Amino acid sequence: MIGRRLRSMFVDGEWRAAHSRAQIELIDPSTERWIAGAADGDTHDVAAAASAARAAAPDWGRTAPEERAALLDALADAVDKRQDEIARLVTAQNGTVLSRSRRTNGTRPVALYRHFADVARSFHPERYDGEAQGIIRREPLGVVGIIVPWNAPQSLLANKIGPALAAGCTAVIKPAAETSLDALLLAQMASAEGFPPGVINVVTGGRRTGAALVDCNDVDMVSFTGSTSAGRQIAARCGHMLRPLLAELGGKSAAVLLDDADLDVFAAKLIATCLPNTGQVCYACTRIIAPRALFDDVVDVVTHVLSQARVGDPLDPGVDFGPLVSEAQRRRVEQYIATARADGATVAFGGDRPPDTTAGYYVQPTVLVDVDRSMPVFREEIFGPVVVVVAHDGDDDAVTIANDSSYGLGGAVFSRDHGRAIEVARHTQTGGMSINGADRGASAPFYGYKDSGLGGVPGLEAHLAYKFIADAANAKRNVRA
């Protein structure tokens, strides 16, 4: 797909010429060079894809859950075989360091498809309830409009199409403009593995294409991952149409160090916890909350780790920080740093572009101190390689500072005492916490508190409608196994 100008989208099991003649230009953020063009879908393209999904919905919804599970397993195998190719395709589009891209666009989606295959296998749509006196049946909602961002596109897609397909829904995917190519490849691969035409469709395009999908009459539910501001606009539209919405949104998470934290463990986990993917991850813990007595030591650790980290070509295996996804994103990050400086924050490390790069949207990893909790760098999601370090006066104060946010998505606690760390995690208003940098498995629920999400019933359940069939006399023997 690299080097080509695509004028088709994947609809109804085949490449179909786009109605729109407009194009999205895809740029490699590490070189600033053009890599491909993709169709910028219009309302006709969205309607064609949604109508294919609508037509496919009844048959797909009637397939046995085991059949859907077998296809999800086949998709997992196919992605597994082509992991390296997919990871490189994503890196070329969004600049994710290849070793990370192999996980978030390779092993992780494979694990997620296998997990949702297991979920489908153990799904029983009907059961008899004696007290209610009838059959409780859960039916797929129908066509799901799926809209995702570019930062970990294959994991995010797997997290959305996995439960939708397992539930028996069909999907129209609108990937981020920046990562159009890998979504098209995935749909083509799914079709080759035997997913029936119309079950997975991809319409490429930008915001307008996404908005057209949200508004499309053939869409029964919207499943969105992206920024809180776009989430609000989509929620307003869905509210007007009374359309179910699952929204996974932005974050400004905190890494809390307790006074017994092992600073070597924190140092080893720092980049993965606080600045994964050059800080372009929704759950990145970009607020580091350190005990006042250890404040200088923590700043030294953070500064040391980031000064040793390498910034550069994402394909180089020794590199820790790649470029930002776009020139616009770099400008936004630089603006946050400039505003923080003007507001009185001190740059303890970084703050500029790397001195020896001539191309690519690079910014040095940056540490800010003397940060007031009213400053935008403390309150707003920057989505770049910038952390702030603030002091706390004990566990309760640390929790208060961590909770002083309109977001609540991720979080971390570092302590030698796991019981104490888990107690801090219990009191933090957020959907996910990690103790000492522990990772999550594929079946872990993903949920956002406050402005970080909406409708977060994890997994299959969000894609199902309930039906009750009252039939006290005969229902029990008519339950479908």
Instruction: Name which of 92 and 211 has its Cβ closer to ligand NAD.
Output: 211
Contact residue for ligand NAD among 60, 113, 349, 383 (CB under 6 A): 383
Nearest CB to ligand NAD, comparing residues 74 and 271: 271
Stretch that binds ligand NAD, among 208-216, 311-319, 353-361, 434-442 (CB under 6 A): 208-216
* Residue closest to ligand NAD, measured at CB: 210
Among 157, 448, 454, 462, binds ligand NAD (CB under 6 A): 448
434 φ/ψ angles, rounded to the nearest 5 degrees: -125, 135
Name which of 173 and 421 has its Cβ closer to ligand NAD.
173
Q: Provide the β-strand partners of residue 60.
A: none
- With CB under 6 A as the contact rule, which of the stretches 41-49, 226-234, 298-306, 316-324 interacts with ligand NAD? 226-234
DSSP H or E run through 222: strand 221-225
Applying CB under 6 A, does 101 fall inside the site for ligand NAD?
no
* 1-9, 44-52, 210-218, 422-430 -> range binding ligand NAD (CB under 6 A): 210-218
Nearer to ligand NAD, 135 or 219 (CB): 219
Under the criterion CB under 6 A, does residue 97 sit at the interface with ligand NAD? no
Q: Which is nearer to ligand NAD, 196 or 206 (CB)?
A: 206
Is the CB of 174 or the CB of 269 nearer to ligand NAD?
174
459 touches ligand NAD by CB under 6 A: no
Smallest distance from ligand NAD to CB 270, Å = 20
Piece of 45-53, 144-152, 162-170, 287-295 that binds ligand NAD (CB under 6 A): 144-152
Footprint of ligand NAD on 21-60 (CB under 6 A): none
Q: What's at 36, amino acid-wise? A: A
Site pattern 387..416 for ligand NAD (x: CB under 6 A): ----------------------x-------
CA 407 – CA 442 distance, rounded (Å): 23
Give the nearer residue to ligand NAD in terms of CB position, either 45 or 248. 248
Binds ligand NAD by CB under 6 A, chosen from 60, 116, 150, 378: 150
Q: How far apart are CA 53 and CA 218, in angstroms?
A: 8
**If binding is defined by CB under 6 A, does position 233 make contact with ligand NAD?**
yes
Can you tell me which of 82, 121, 207, 353 binds ligand NAD, judged by CB under 6 A? 207
**Residue of 411, 407, 342, 345 whose CA lies nearest to 372:** 345
Residues ≥6 apart with Cβ < 8 Å to 364: 311, 349, 350, 351, 352, 353, 354, 385
Helix (H, G, I), strand (E, B) or coil at 387: strand
Alpha helices in 107-179 (DSSP H): 108-121, 153-167
* Active site residues per annotation: 248, 282
**Cα Rg of the chain (Å, integer):** 23
Q: Does 184 bind ligand NAD (CB under 6 A)?
A: no
Identify which range of 50-58, 66-74, 171-179, 337-345 contacts ligand NAD by CB under 6 A.
171-179
Helices (H) and strands (E) in the chain, counts: 16, 22
**Does position 375 bind ligand NAD by CB under 6 A?**
no
**Alpha carbon distance 210, 174 (integer Å):** 6
User: Per CB under 6 A, does 234 bind ligand NAD?
Assistant: yes
Distance from first CA to last CA of the chain, Å, rounded? 44
Kindly state whether residue 333 participates in binding ligand NAD, applying the rule CB under 6 A.
no
CA distances from 234 to 36, 222, 454 (A): 29, 9, 11
CA 69 – CA 177 distance, rounded (Å): 30
Give the C-alpha separation, 388 to 375, whole Å: 10
Q: Judged by CB under 6 A, does residue 250 bind ligand NAD? A: yes
Q: How many residues bind ligand NAD (CB under 6 A)?
A: 29
Q: Is 245 in the site for ligand NAD (CB under 6 A)?
A: no
Closest among 314, 330, 282 to 90, alpha carbons compared: 314
Write the CB contacts of 473 (distance below 8 Å, at least 6 apart in sequence): none
Q: Does 282 engage in binding with ligand NAD (CB under 6 A)?
A: yes
Reference 247, options 226, 266, 262; nearest CA is 226
Do residues 76 and 118 make contact, with C-beta atoms less than 8 angstroms apart? no
If you write DSSP's letter for every residue of 232-255 in order, what string do you get? HHHHHHHHHHT--EEEE-----EE
The length of the chain, given as a count of residues: 481
- Binding stretches for ligand NAD (CB under 6 A): 147-151, 156, 174, 176-177, 206-207, 210-211, 214, 225-227, 230, 233-234, 248-251, 282, 381, 383, 409, 448
